[in-house]
Amino acid sequence: MDRLVVWNIDLTLLDVGRVSRDAYADAFGRATGRPLAALPQLVGRSDTEIFFESLYLNDVPTGPDEAGDAELLSRYCWELEAAFTLRQDELRQQGRLLPGAAAAVTAVAGLPGIVQTVLTGTIKPNAVTKLRAFGLDRFFDLEIGGYGSDAYPRGSLLLLVKGDAGHKYGRPLSDDQAVYIADSVRDVEAAATGGARCIAVATGRAMPAELHDAGADIVLTDLADTSQVLAAIDQLTLVPADR
């Protein structure tokens, strides 16, 4: 491995928002015994953050202590995984790949010395389910990815992803050997904290100017131009001099 390309999933590669909202409501109700009347902002947030904000917005008490919170979160994550498993057909029927996503991931996989993984707010089982629904899971080393069940800010999680990749493939990564491709301002900020360059894609809720202002190295309208995506990765990442 000479370079690491880390992808966000939702609103960068695919959009399954309607299915996700239904799954959140189902899992929340089963885990807490209360209906999900109000759902917080989802963009750039992890499933863990979304759950605890949902507790607050819906006036549902947390656990009596940290152990109680952890147990409640574990129950919710289990229910959320089950809710997505039941909706695999809906992911394909109601969700969609974003323009150029499949071609971009396929082309990047063909570059020499590159490993691809994900950094997403989604818990790992559901990240795999989403990618598998659209035939993308085979392009990623999901063992070294960062997920919404991990109790770290996204920037810190990116550092861990880089560390795990370096350990697995036997080569520590500099900031110029890792790039994070994502769609939100929080993702751009995470790249700066996590020691990676950032390609921001304006396929989410953020406007191109917002992504520029947040510090993205390159901003693309979408992934439709595969050659543009490959050129951006090559521009921002370096192959070690000894290779």
Which residue do the tokens 């035939």 mark? 135
CB atoms within 10 A of CB 37: 11
Give me the pLDDT at residue 243, please: 52
Give me the pLDDT at residue 59, please: 93
Q: Where are the domains of the chain?
A: 3-15+96-236, 17-92
**Are 232 and 195 a contacting pair, CB within 8 Å?**
no
pLDDT at 241 over 60: no
Give me the pLDDT at residue 240, please: 61
- Cβ-count burial of 147 within 10 angstroms (0-12 exposed, 13-18 middle, 19+ buried)? buried
- Give the integer Cα–Cα distance in Å for 222 and 152: 28
Q: How distant is the alpha carbon of residue 210 from its chain centre? A: 19
Tens-place pLDDT, residues 197-224 = 999 999 999 999 999 999 999 999 999 9
Compute the average pLDDT of residues 14-25: 94
Compute the average pLDDT of residues 86-104: 96
pLDDT at 63 over 90: no
Give me the pLDDT at residue 41, please: 81
- Give the integer Cα–Cα distance in Å for 85 and 206: 30
Give me the pLDDT at residue 236, please: 96
Question: In sequence order, what are the beta bridge partners of 119?
Answer: 146
Domain covering 3-15+96-236: architecture: 3-Layer(aba) Sandwich (3.40)
Which of the two residues, 42 and 20, has the higher pLDDT score? 20
Tens-place pLDDT, residues 111-150 = 989 999 999 999 999 999 999 999 999 999 999 999 998 7
Give me the pLDDT at residue 242, please: 54
Tokens representing residue 119 in the block: 């950094």
Q: What is the pTM of this model?
A: 0.94
